[in-house]
Amino acid sequence: MSGPAHRASARGSRRVRAGSEPGTEEQPRDPLADPSLYLNRELSQLEFNFRVLAQAQDPSVPLLERLRFLCISCTNLDEFFEIRVAAVRHAVEYGLPAAADGRAPATALREIHKRASDLVAGQYECWNRDLRPALAEAGIRIIGRADWTARHKRWLRAYFHNEVMPVLSPVGLDPAHPFPRILNKSLNVVVVLSGRDAFGRVGNLAIVRAPRSLPRIIQLPPHVSGGEHDFVFLSAVLSEFVHELFPGMTVKGAYQFRVTRNSELVMDEEEVENLAMALRDELAGRGYQRPIRLEIAADCPRPIVRTLLQNFDLPDNAVYRIDGPVNLSRVIQVYDLVQEPDLKYPAFQPRQLPGSDAMFELISHGDVLLHHPFDAFTPVLELVRQAAEDPNVLAIKQTLYRTGKDSPLVEHLVQAARNGKDVTVVVELLARFDEEANLGLAGRLQEAGVQVVYGVVGFKTHAKMMLIVRREGRRLRRYVHIGTGNYHPGNARAYTDLGLMTAHPGIGSDMHQIFMQLSGLAPAIELNHLLQSPFSLHPGVLARIEREAAHALAGRPARIVAKMNALNEPQVIRALYAASQAGVRIDLFVRGACTLCPQVPGVSENIRVFSIVGRFLEHHRVYWFGNDGRPELFGASADWLERNLLRRVETAFPILDPAVGRRVHAEVLDNYLADNVDAWELQPDGSYERRTPGDGEEPHSAQMWLLARLCG
């Protein structure tokens, strides 16, 4: 981004159009809508993956954790192409207008492919130059074909014949066998042939798809290889023995490839009569939607690449030539198979909540904050379990976005229904990539007598909340759990999130109204404590930012600190720019994509943006507004994205208990502001610079500080 100095020069001016009639004027243009003040969302999201890759490149990170970060950067990139790049290509094809950053979709797509190519090159350089040799030195060998011994080949040939070949179905390309449908992200080998087969057909090309039922990484027995942790890629086995699939013909070359397809579901929710049935039909075809990217072996001849491009209708810049396995993310199996504690992060035990054997009594005495993964998720499960067994509990209402396979929380909800409780669960069927699991979950809950609803057509239910109604004497009391993360025990071990348990009557009343709205046909409601999108959350955030600006203009203290996963909502960004111009100091923690441009003179010089990338995935959303010494603090399920603020059902909940507020301030806001190890600062041009300790400054990692403080 260049030339920021001009950006505030014409603020508020009105210009007469050249050659126009007297009195005819252009409408005043909002200078804070200038495209040069906005970064591109997709390019910003790519930058996040460079920060993840940096963890893989960092020798101070345990070796197998570096491998895990490399795999995460690869799977993130897959999803990026499946969703974000697919959306940009759709915008190109349908002539959609430029985004807030002013880039035409075609321009954005070219820049995305260029930057993504840099990322892929960095991933394979990290694998080939750094990680693979370091793993070998640690006794974990990924053995390539060039290094196979005669013993390796004998064992692998037997493996090929016994385990692989029986489930292969090679397809030779001829008029009777057109190019086969290639499943999204499946491993394939294109084989170049010569000669004639038993029917006299002339060989040319064949496609061999790797069986999805087989592991992509094969562990060699110690008696074959001599090492306990020796592995071979399935793709290497296919390439080595593929000639045995074509007896009597000559294999002139075999090249692995993989195609990534659009994975966004495109059904019109408002036009379907049964969302669950329509979703099942849509999922059946997801793996064969529009191709977006082609990965292929670096040595594949250009004519073969052209053939594949023509078949998939892809441009040249959508080809990624790969110096290694095209499914590098599958190396994560090595992380799972090798149990070497010295090569991984030290194990930790989350802090247990005292008194969790009597959750209702505990919550009735005051609000309870859980800070995951440092605090255990078990109190949430205990709350549901105890509610299922408590004869005084009348009803449980719950939202489920992601839960994980065989979740104990689901078991407790099922048991509650069997025990005669009135259990209502809002299942979000369209939780991306969890749609099939959630369909099964919904069916299982319904079979147990749970009332399952699918939320609101056109608005994903992304809020994380649970409401329990309990009879206590002559009154009914509401107990609430509301959080920033999903009800997924696995995520609670890997993601940073906040969960609040409270019996606050006002919060309970607000949540009751939201559940009534989700399960019925209720009108817009006025809440007293919670903020809810798509109604009060967006205007509520804007109003609080504008209030800080008014405080600053009046000479009063003004401050904003907010933490989230992504930021792109233009009205919020303009409000932040205006607050910065008014003198409000603003610190934002945005883990991933951020389209706000910080540190622009005259516009955003009072705004700093940081991204924390460390052992745990940063996931909690926290908003703090100074409000002239009467601060407001919220936890939320929503990022400051257009989709979260305008097109989803989300909640932001106030932290009303002063002791809980002090804890959130210390553990999240102050702690993360002090991070000079895992923090990256966003620059005006969209790049990031890693923070390092200054002279005389002690290193401080926010996540490691929390581990030591809460789990030590």
Q: Check: CB of residue 579 under 8 Å from CB of residue 546.
A: yes
Give the integer Cα–Cα distance in Å for 524 and 542: 19
User: Dihedrals φ, ψ of 497, to 5°?
Assistant: -150, 160
Terminal-to-terminal C-alpha distance of the chain: 45
User: Is 161 assigned a catalytic role?
Assistant: no
CA 50 to chain centre: 15
Strands (E), 241-281: 250-261
* Residue 370 DSSP one-character state: E
Strands (E), 602-696: 607-612, 617-618, 621-625, 632-636, 648-654, 679-682, 688-690
Three-state SS at 703: helix
Q: Check: CB of residue 314 under 8 Å from CB of residue 294.
A: yes
- For 124, counting Cβ atoms within 10 Å of its Cβ (0-12 exposed, 13-18 middle, 19+ buried), the class is buried
User: How many CB atoms are located within 10 Å of the residue 532 CB?
Assistant: 23
- For 624, counting Cβ atoms within 10 Å of its Cβ (0-12 exposed, 13-18 middle, 19+ buried), the class is buried
Three-state SS at 612: strand
User: What tokens were used for 75?
Assistant: 């799977």
User: What tokens were used for 163?
Assistant: 């385990």
Give the integer Cα–Cα distance in Å for 454 and 58: 44
In order, the DSSP letters of 307-368 are: HHHHHHT--GGGEEEESS-TTGGGGHHHHHH---GGGSPPP--PBPPTTGGGHHHHHHTS-E
Show Cβ contacts of residue 27 under 8 Å, excluding neighbours closer than 6 positions: none
Give the integer Cα–Cα distance in Å for 221 and 232: 11
Show Cβ contacts of residue 188 under 8 Å, excluding neighbours closer than 6 positions: 182, 207, 208, 209, 210, 256, 257, 258, 259
Question: Could you say which of 229, 372, 412, 462 is catalytic?
Answer: 462
- Maximum CA extent, the chain: 92
Please report, for residues 279, 355, 563, 702, the alpha-carbon distance to residue 291 in angstroms, rounded to integers and kept in the order given. 21, 54, 35, 41
Q: Are strands 648-654 and 460-461 parallel, antiparallel or unpaired?
A: parallel
Give the integer Cα–Cα distance in Å for 663 and 604: 30
Q: Check: CB of residue 441 under 8 Å from CB of residue 452.
A: no
User: How many CB atoms are located within 10 Å of the residue 558 CB?
Assistant: 24
Give the integer Cα–Cα distance in Å for 573 and 641: 10
Q: Which residues of 478-502 are buried (b: 16+ CB within 10 A; e: fewer)?
A: bbbbbbbbbbbbebbeebbbbbbbb
Give the integer Cα–Cα distance in Å for 111 and 7: 24
Q: Are strands 291-297 and 319-322 parallel, antiparallel or unpaired?
A: parallel
Q: Of all residues in the chain, what percent are helix, strand and coil, respectively (each to 5)?
A: 40, 20, 35
Show Cβ contacts of residue 51 under 8 Å, excluding neighbours closer than 6 positions: 611, 613, 680, 688
Residues tagged active-site: 462
